[in-house]
Amino acid sequence: MPFFDQYPRFYETSHIGNEPNRLNSRYHALIGANLDCIQNCSVLDLGSHDGRWSFAALKAGADQVLGIEARSDFHARAIENFQAYSIPEGSFSFVLGDVFKQLPEVSPGSIDTVFCFGVLYCTTYHQLLLELIANLKPKNLVLDTFVSMLPDSVIELRVVETNGDILASSSGAMLRTLLLGYPSRRAIELMLKNAGFRFQYFDWHRITLEDWTSLKDYQEGTRVTLRAELA
């Protein structure tokens, strides 16, 4: 049975990327392909959302997960989901806050693997984020992000509406729009190298998928998945 079919709350606690085919296919790419850096490891989940990937990491054998989420509604839903599925309290912690403020509070060496799923393109401070991650001295970084299809080493800025939600910026200002930064593949590669990482792309086409309907971004290469290690 597909992973999230066993835990259907995650189809309901967020409308973002909650299509069963998408969630379960991403499980194979983000979790199943990285079991060796999840099992018996401590995992930091940046932008932990409703807890779906922290939960998947624990079910895959992680010893401990720490999630950081800036939105109070998703932070609350993550805790509710873990309680609903009877996850022992000592195995997880969810922090409500900005990743740029919270990452310096995490002790270097305390994290084995960092999940950065859907976070990199939601900022314009890409290099700072990668350097803060590198400062933690993790063994692995699993990165999943939308990318710009523009050539060369560029970051494509886009402004999006928050769909009626009012979000707090890192400065405390309340925002109705967000400024996103979609890095090109070449930009990601240069920034990872500059932060001290060596990396490898996950080949989405190696997964046998009969239905790409909810995964067009991965099929067309506008979203990519990488695994990186500190050099």
Domains of the chain, each with CATH number or no CATH: 3-147+184-230 (3.40.50.150)
E strand or H helix at 182: strand 177-183
CA 184 to chain centre: 18
Please compute the mean of the pLDDT values over residues 57-76 and round it to a whole number: 97
Give the pLDDT of residue 106: 98
Question: Considering only CA atoms, which of 196, 54, 177 is closest in space to residue 127?
Answer: 196
Q: pLDDT tens-digit profile of 163-190?
A: 544 444 444 444 567 899 999 999 999 9
Q: What is the pTM of this model?
A: 0.94
E strand or H helix at 219: helix 216-220
Radius of gyration of the chain (CA): 17
% pLDDT > 70, the chain? 94
Between 193-202, 205-214, 220-229, the lowest mean confidence (pLDDT) is in: 205-214
Between 101-115, 128-142, 173-187, 194-208, the lowest mean confidence (pLDDT) is in: 173-187
SS (H, E, C) 95-144: EECCHHHHHHHCCCCCCCEEEEECCHHHCCCHHHHHHHHHHCCCCEEEEE
Question: Considering only CA atoms, which of 33, 200, 231 is closest in space to residue 137?
Answer: 231
* Residue 191 in this model has a pLDDT that exceeds 80: yes
End-to-end Cα distance, the chain: 37
* Tokens 């067009």 found at: 216
% pLDDT > 90, the chain? 88
